[in-house]
């Protein structure tokens, strides 16, 4: 018997409504649990992440130093090879390298000013490690590694996980009395 405009809710409609609620609960459970697990994981693994980024930066600096040494080694090998081929090269390079007077009176050697020499010395003695001093850690990791914020992340993650288990787990079916 239908009273008024509305028809009674069938058993099929009740099942559809319950399934829709379960889908919403599942989505909320996944969202809360994922955020909680992520913040809990970051707070626990923060030290390892900091160590990872520092090791990555050290590896980058070491690789640059290795490349520089390989370049110098190749330059010295080329110079030694030229010296073996042309023994007179030492006589020509000695005045420029050692600052001695040239043996050839007709040879003209350029003279460098003290400013030019200072600039060249500065460029040669510059530490290659200084060029790569970029930001070692991402800003978010620097903030997360602070003890106060780390504790806050841990507590917030734990609370979100507890909320997801207590509030969004599937509803238990109650036994129907017929």
pLDDT tens track for 129-173: 555 555 678 898 999 999 999 999 999 999 999 999 998 876 666
**Residue 32 vs residues 46, 157, 158, 171: alpha-carbon distances, Å:** 21, 9, 11, 17
Say what the pLDDT of residue 99 is.
66
**Looking at the predicted structure, is the pLDDT value of residue 95 above 90?**
no
pLDDT band for position 92 (cuts 50, 70, 90): confident
**Residue 153 vs residues 35, 37, 60, 145, 167: alpha-carbon distances, Å:** 11, 10, 31, 10, 21
Higher pLDDT, 79 or 55: 55
Number of Cβ within 10 Å of residue 177's Cβ equals 4
Q: Compute the C-alpha angle 156/161/163, nearest 5°.
A: 95
Statement: the pTM of the whole predicted model exceeds 0.85? no
Q: What is the pLDDT of residues 19-73, one digit of tens each?
A: 778 888 889 999 999 999 999 999 999 999 999 999 999 999 999 999 999 998 9
The CA distance from 21 to 11, in Å, is: 15
Give 86: exposed, middle or buried? Use CB within 10 Å, 0-12, 13-18, 19+: exposed
The CA distance from 131 to 58, in Å, is: 13
Q: What is the pLDDT of residues 18-31, one digit of tens each?
A: 777 888 888 999 99
């Amino acid at each position: 018997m239908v009273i008024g405009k509305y028809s009674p809710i069938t058993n099929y409609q009740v099942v559809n409504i319950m399934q829709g609620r379960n889908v919403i609960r599942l989505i909320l459970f996944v969202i809360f649990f994922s955020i909680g697990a992520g913040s809990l994981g970051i707070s626990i693994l923060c030290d390892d992440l900091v160590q990872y980024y520092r090791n990555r930066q050290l590896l980058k600096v070491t690789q640059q130093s290795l490349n520089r040494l390989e370049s110098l080694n190749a330059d010295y090998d080329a110079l030694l090879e030229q010296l073996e081929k042309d023994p007179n090269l030492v006589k020509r390079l000695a005045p420029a390298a050692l600052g001695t007077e040239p043996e050839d009176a007709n040879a003209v050697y350029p003279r460098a000013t003290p400013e030019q020499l200072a600039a060249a010395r500065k460029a040669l003695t510059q530490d290659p490690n200084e060029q790569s001093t970029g930001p070692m850690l991402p800003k978010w990791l620097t903030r997360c590694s602070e003890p106060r914020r780390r504790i806050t992340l841990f507590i917030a993650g734990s609370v979100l996980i507890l909320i997801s288990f207590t509030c969004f787990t599937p509803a238990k079916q109650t036994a129907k009395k017929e």
